[in-house]
Structure 1
């Protein structure tokens, strides 16, 4: 793997030097490809276009991110920003590369979570859009256009991860392939209308299985905190190492989102039926609500309190999108019609 890592470092250097003027664009793209964006951006946008597709996005995002965590624990994988220093291969000729605020993620590198979750979630989006376009136009050419967008999105997100030294190229490729497979498989069975017990069982099951795997690996003498130590050691700025990028944060997010999805469908089975204009208004208000919920500062000490509040935050996200905001809009527009 050493030769693969070395080539990846030189590729990142070349990419940074050649596209330095597009630095802001790469940072925006890597932000949009963050697994968190699937829950906070893609989910509400998709939900108000198609309820089934929105539920599928949240379902696929949670399961694919959980599997990404499991794969990372089992496959390990270095990250470029720490491997440059740890390898000691660049003492005489150090690469001309720099780090950025989203560079210093603390989990192992293989496979790329950004690429994997993006590939899985966006497959739901483009396949739904492709089916819709074909149903309306019966044009194979027009219905194939979303899949070209899919390839472009994956290429852009993967390139951004290489640019900021968060991943090696092969980690992006592996993540994209795994995500594509998961998107195809998971989108075939969408848990729309399933009972609350199903989602509660899924949430608890994902949490307990991950904790059991973690305990088992520790029992075998495998220190799963190795990547956190390296991230803290080699990150350019200590404040760039954040608790919300830790492996357990993604696990808590997935469990919270699944429980929230179950609760939302329990409170309002079938969802609110809204015309297009109220839907657009619901989307705008929901997006603003999720933005402010996401920006709420959480105490990082003690970590248990952080994870609990982080869990609550993502339990609330589906409630805001599926129940609270559309319910309020329905109430207001219904009263207006009656008046």
Structure 2
């Protein structure tokens, strides 16, 4: 069967048609996303504080500062896995965002030019103005990956104790509810479009299932050091390579600064390189903590609860430590060190002090 010969002009017109067809489809998807956000803000305005709390729970850094200590003092292997999965999934999310160039609703409204005559009745919040690209949602992706570790461990524990399929399935139901709530919160505050949340949730779930089988518990320090440096260098090489191809990876930062309704809502800790230094720092910190205390501290339940409370307070204050934003290299360096410290507090320092105090009290 013969095919008609296409000229260069025919090929160009065909490519142009495909490009504009894709543009129109994405424009329709984005428009529907804005309308959904508008509806959510109008119908659930009384739940504004709730959505803001949920979006903070879904923040990738919450995996290190909240989920990790909570999980570690219940099950040490699960806690180590949480750090591993959180770091790898957030690093992959950064790579995906650099490759997919996803828009964010709060700047797309102005950039699209579709709402000149009639602006949507939406507003921004202090958590809205993130500076990285929008696709896929990092909140949804990291939450789905990390909480899969928690609910699967809890589900297995419940089944081993009760042999009840119904009871062991309850954590997985809560998992779905959490993902839906985090996704809605991100749409509500204009940080993401619905399709970005769905993509992040599905990808995160797959990563949680796969990465949970590769947790590097009790690996040598050299493994963590090499892995941390490898992630850092590979991301920097990808960034440099894309820039050499003429791709401006700071485009999202410029748009965020342009369309954020409050300049003070632009924070350097939401920039792409902040997530990179957080992940690499946490992995190196995990290696150091397991090097100092390979088997962890063996504590009864009461001292574990005390360790959890003290660790949570310690991490709260570490997270609140102000860092200089200029020069940016110093900020990223100190941000890296901050998350190296996190596993030391949870795995080594606080449990060690509690162990020392409780043993001394028993002797007295």
Determine if the TM-score, normalized by the shorter chain, exceeds 0.5.
yes
> Which of 122, 125, 128 is equivalent to 1:100?
125
Q: Which residue of 2 aligns with 1:167?
A: 192
Q: Which residue of 2 aligns with 1:141?
A: 166
Q: 1: distance between equivalents of 2:62 and 2:214?
A: 22
Q: 2: distance between equivalents of 1:212 and 1:270?
A: 36
Q: Which residue of 2 aligns with 1:18?
A: 43
Q: 1: distance between equivalents of 2:361 and 2:332?
A: 42
**Offset of 1:338 from its aligned partner?**
1.5
Q: Does 1:226 align with 2:251?
A: yes
Q: Which residue of 1 aligns with 2:7?
A: none
Q: 1: distance between equivalents of 2:172 and 2:125?
A: 31
Q: Give TM-score scaled by structure 2 length.
A: 0.93
Q: Which residue of 1 aligns with 2:336?
A: 311
Q: Does 1:182 align with 2:207?
A: yes
Q: 2: distance between equivalents of 1:135 and 1:26?
A: 35
Q: Which residue of 1 aligns with 2:34?
A: 9
> Which of 258, 262, 270 is equivalent to 1:245?
270
Q: 2: distance between equivalents of 1:308 and 1:288?
A: 23
**Offset of 1:189 from its aligned partner?**
1.7
Q: Which residue of 1 aligns with 2:324?
A: 299
1:285-296 correspondence runs (5 A): 285-296=310-321
The structure that has the greater radius of gyration is 2
Q: Which residue of 1 aligns with 2:4?
A: none
**Offset of 1:123 from its aligned partner?**
0.2
Q: Any idea what the Cα deviations from partners look like across 1:105-144, whole Å, max 9, x if unmatched?
A: 0000000000000000000000000000000001111100
> Which of 97, 101, 105 is equivalent to 1:80?
105
Q: Which residue of 1 aligns with 2:52?
A: 27
**Offset of 1:92 from its aligned partner?**
1.1
Q: Which residue of 2 aligns with 1:127?
A: 152
**Offset of 1:198 from its aligned partner?**
0.5
> Which of 346, 352, 364 is equivalent to 1:321?
346
Which stretches in structure 1 are left out of the alignment for 5+ residues? none
Which stretches in structure 2 are left out of the alignment for 5+ residues? 1-25
Q: Does 1:152 align with 2:183?
A: no
Q: 1: distance between equivalents of 2:314 and 2:89?
A: 25
1:182-221 correspondence runs (5 A): 182-221=207-246
Q: Give TM-score scaled by structure 1 length.
A: 1.00
Q: 2: distance between equivalents of 1:220 and 1:190?
A: 36
What is the total number of aligned residue pairs between the two structures? 339
Q: 2: distance between equivalents of 1:142 and 1:83?
A: 44
SS state of the match for residue 132, structure 2?
Answer: coil
Q: 2: distance between equivalents of 1:139 and 1:198?
A: 39
